[in-house]
C-alpha cells in the first residue's frame, strides 16, 4: 500500500507527464529553478527532457544529491548529472543561512532572462523554508522565530504560508516577478489540502492579492501579536507590493497531489479489503482520531474493511516532547481504539519525515495501550507533553521510511479485519 501510494506521487513521473517539447519549442533560452522536498527528482526529470536546451538550472533542496559513483550498482536518475543543473541546500522546517543564500543565487540567475526566454519552476512542499529572500529589515533570526511560533501554534499550512508570503520577495509570485521578462511555467506538486497553488511553498509563481488585514487576522487568531519579532509585525502591517500587474506571462500546472496517492493506496488495499477513500482531513491531529472524526473503523459489515484518509493536520505544541502530526494522531488513535479487537491504524507522512523526527508516522492497534501499560507508559501523559515519539518508540509502533523524495500531505489508513 505504501509503495503504491508513493509510486502514484512520484515527482519525476509527474514532471514527465506534464512537461513536453511544445512548452519550450519557441523559447530562446530555458532556465530551470525551483524549491522543495521533491526538488531532486522533479529537476532531474525536467533536465533530462530538456537536454541541450537547458541554459542553466538551480534548485534548492533539503539535501544535495550524491552524484559520485556508487559503491554498488544502482539505477541512475536520468538528468541528475546534467552539466547545467546545480542543487543548493536550504533549511527545513526552519529557514537557514542556506535558504537565504539559495534565494540570492536564484535571483542572480534570473537576472539573465530576456524577452522570449522560458523559466521552468519545479515547486513542491517544503519550499517555504528552503528558499527565502526576505524584505529589507527582516533578519534570519526574525524568520526563524516566526516560523517556530507558527508551526507550534496549531495554524494550518495555508495560514502559515499566508504570513510567510508577506515577509518574502520570492514568495507570493515573487519568483515569477524576478523571472520577468521571461515567460514562466510552474510545475507544482501539491502538499496542501485543497491544492491551493498559492499556498504550496508559499506560491513563488502564484501571485495573490495580499490584504494586510488577512495576515493580521491569523496573528490575532493564534494570539501571536505579543510574540512575533517587531520587524515582522511592522512588515505585516505594510501595504502589499507587487501584485498581478507586475507578473510576466505565467502558467501554473498541478502535476501531483494527495488525491492520487490516496486513490492508489485505496486501490491497492481494495485487492483484499472493502476499501474506501475519504477526506481531506485538516485540524488538530489529536482531535481528528480521538473524537471519531475519522470515519468509524469498527462500523458495520463488510469485514474486512479499510478506510484511507488523505490530508494534513496540525499540532498545538504546549509540552516539551518530540513528535509530529502523524505520530500525535496515532497516539490519539491508540487511546480511542484501546481494547478493540482486530483494528489497525497507520499514519504516514508521504515525505517520510513527520515533524522534527526520523519517523514517518506510526502503526497502532487496539492492543497498543495495554502493551504500553505493561511497560509503565501513560499515553495521556505523553500526549499532553506532545511526546508521541517517545511513547510510540517505547511500544515499537514507529514507522520509518526515510526521505521518500516526494511530498503530497499525509495518509491515514484504518483497517478492521
**pLDDT surpassing 60 at residue 211:** yes
Residues 25 and 42 grouped into a single domain: yes
**pLDDT surpassing 50 at residue 291:** no
Contact criterion met (CB below 8 Å) for 329 and 392: no
Residues 298 and 176 grouped into a single domain: no
CA distance 46 to 41: 9
pLDDT tens figures, 136-174 = 999 999 999 999 999 999 999 999 999 999 999 999 999
Residues 249 and 291 grouped into a single domain: no
Q: What is the DSSP string of 201-252?
A: GG-TT------HHHHHHHHHHTT-TTTS-HHHHHHHHSPP-S-GGG--SEEE
Q: Which residues pair with 278 in a beta bridge?
A: 309
In a domain, 412, yes or no: yes
Longest dimension (CA), the chain: 69
CA distance 232 to 163: 9
Residues 299 and 173 grouped into a single domain: no
Confidence of residue 292 (pLDDT cuts 50, 70, 90): very low
The Cα-based distances of 414 to 182, 346, 363 in angstroms read 48, 7, 10
Q: Which of 256, 291, 318 is the last residue of a domain?
A: 256
- Greater confidence (175 vs 259) lies with 175
Range of the domain at 276: 259-416
Sheet containing 118-124: give its strands across: 85-89, 54-61, 30-35, 118-124, 183-189, 250-256
- Treating both helix axes as pointing N-terminal to C-terminal, what angle do 157-166 and 230-237 enclose, rounded to 10 degrees? 90
In a domain, 227, yes or no: no
Confidence of residue 308 (pLDDT cuts 50, 70, 90): confident
| Segment 189-198 mean pLDDT | 91
CA distance 201 to 182: 21
CA distance 60 to 39: 7
In a domain, 203, yes or no: yes
Query: What's the CATH code of the domain at 79?
Result: 3.40.50.10180
Confidence of residue 11 (pLDDT cuts 50, 70, 90): very high
Confidence (pLDDT) at 244: 54
**pLDDT surpassing 60 at residue 48:** yes
Residues 303 and 314 grouped into a single domain: yes
CA distance 325 to 154: 10
Residues 249 and 328 grouped into a single domain: no
- Assigned C-alpha cell, 403: 526521505
In a domain, 183, yes or no: yes
Q: Which residues pair with 87 in a beta bridge?
A: 59
Q: Is 2 helix (H, G, I), strand (E, B) or coil?
A: helix
Confidence of residue 264 (pLDDT cuts 50, 70, 90): confident
- State how beta strands 54-61 and 85-89 pair: parallel
Number of domains within the chain: 2
Residues 247 and 293 grouped into a single domain: no
Q: Which residue has the cell 525551483?
A: 34
| Segment 335-361 mean pLDDT | 93
Q: Which of 192, 222, 256 is the last residue of a domain?
A: 256
Confidence of residue 260 (pLDDT cuts 50, 70, 90): confident
Q: Classify each residue of 334-350 as buried b or exposed e, where b means 16 or more C-beta atoms within 10 Å of its C-beta.
A: bbbbbeeeebbbbbbbb
Q: Which of 229, 256, 283 is the last residue of a domain?
A: 256
Please provide the average confidence, as pLDDT, over all residues in the chain. 89
In a domain, 199, yes or no: yes
Determine which helix (DSSP H) or strand (DSSP E) holds 279, and give its type and residue range: strand 274-281
Confidence of residue 290 (pLDDT cuts 50, 70, 90): very low
Contact criterion met (CB below 8 Å) for 266 and 306: yes
Residues 378 and 412 grouped into a single domain: yes
CA distance 170 to 162: 13
Residues 182 and 284 grouped into a single domain: no
pLDDT tens figures, 71-110 = 555 677 899 999 999 999 999 999 999 999 999 999 999 9
Confidence (pLDDT) at 299: 47
pLDDT tens figures, 173-191 = 999 999 999 999 999 999 9
Query: What's the CATH code of the domain at 278?
Result: 3.40.1480.10
Residues 182 and 264 grouped into a single domain: no
In a domain, 156, yes or no: no
CA distance 225 to 230: 9
CA distance 184 to 76: 29
In a domain, 215, yes or no: no
Residues 120 and 16 grouped into a single domain: yes
Residues 193 and 270 grouped into a single domain: no
Amino acid at each position: 500500500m505504501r509503495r503504491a501510494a508513493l509510486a502514484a506521487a512520484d515527482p519525476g513521473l509527474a514532471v514527465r507527464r506534464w512537461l513536453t517539447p511544445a512548452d519550450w519549442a519557441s523559447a530562446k533560452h530555458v532556465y530551470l529553478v525551483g524549491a522543495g522536498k521533491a526538488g531532486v527528482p522533479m529537476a532531474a526529470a525536467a533536465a533530462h527532457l530538456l537536454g541541450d536546451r537547458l541554459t542553466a538550472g538551480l534548485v534548492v533542496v533539503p539535501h544535495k544529491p550524491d552524484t559520485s559513483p556508487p559503491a554498488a550498482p544502482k539505477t541512475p536518475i536520468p538528468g541528475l548529472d546534467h552539466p547545467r543543473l546545480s542543487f543548493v541546500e536550504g533549511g527545513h522546517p526552519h529557514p537557514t543561512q542556506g535558504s537565504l543564500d539559495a534565494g540570492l543565487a536564484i535571483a542572480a540567475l534570473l537576472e539573465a532572462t530576456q524577452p522570449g526566454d522560458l523559466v521552468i519552476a519545479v515547486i513542491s512542499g517544503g519550499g517555504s523554508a528552503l528558499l527565502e529572500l526576505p524584505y529589507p529589515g527582516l533578519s534570519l533570526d526574525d524568520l526563524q522565530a516566526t516560523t517556530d511560533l507558527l508551526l507550534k501554534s496549531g495554524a494550518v499550512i495555508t495560514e502559515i504560508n499566508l504570513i510567510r508570503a508577506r515577509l518574502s520577495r520570492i514568495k507570493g509570485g515573487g519568483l515569477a516577478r524576478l523571472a520577468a521578462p521571461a515567460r514562466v511555467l510552474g510545475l507544482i506538486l501539491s502538499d496542501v489540502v485543497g491544492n491551493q497553488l498559492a499556498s504550496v511553498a508559499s506560491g513563488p509563481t502564484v501571485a495573490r492579492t495580499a490584504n494586510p488585514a488577512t495576515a493580521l487576522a491569523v496573528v490575532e487568531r493564534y494570539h501571536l501579536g505579543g510574540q512575533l519579532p517587531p520587524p515582522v509585525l511592522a512588515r505585516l502591517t505594510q501595504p502589499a507590493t507587487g501584485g498581478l500587474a507586475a507578473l510576466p506571462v505565467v502558467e501554473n500546472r498541478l502535476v501531483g497531489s494527495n488525491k492520487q496517492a490516496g486513490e492508489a493506496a485505496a486501490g491497492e488495499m481494495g485487492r483484499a479489503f472493502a476499501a474506501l477513500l475519504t477526506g481531506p482531513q485538516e485540524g488538530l491531529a489529536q482531535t481528528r482520531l480521538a473524537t471519531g472524526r475519522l470515519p468509524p473503523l469498527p462500523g458495520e459489515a463488510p469485514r474486512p474493511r479499510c478506510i484511507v484518509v488523505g490530508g494534513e493536520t496540525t499540532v498545538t505544541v504546549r509540552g516539551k516532547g518530540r513528535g509530529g502530526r502523524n505520530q500525535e494522531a496515532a497516539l490519539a488513535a491508540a487511546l480511542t481504539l484501546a481494547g478493540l479487537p482486530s483494528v489497525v491504524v497507520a499514519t504516514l507522512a508521504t515525505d517520510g519525515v513527520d515533524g522534527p523526527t526520523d519517523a514517518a508516522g506510526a502503526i497502532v492497534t487496539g492492543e497498543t495501550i495495554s502493551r504500553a501499560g505493561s511497560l509503565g507508559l501513560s499515553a495521556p501523559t505523553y500526549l499532553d507533553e506532545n511526546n508521541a515519539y517517545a511513547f510510540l518508540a517505547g511500544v515499537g509502533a514507529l514507522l520509518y521510511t526515510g526521505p521518500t523524495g516526494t511530498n503530497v500531505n499525509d495518509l491515514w489508513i484504518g483497517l478492521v479485519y
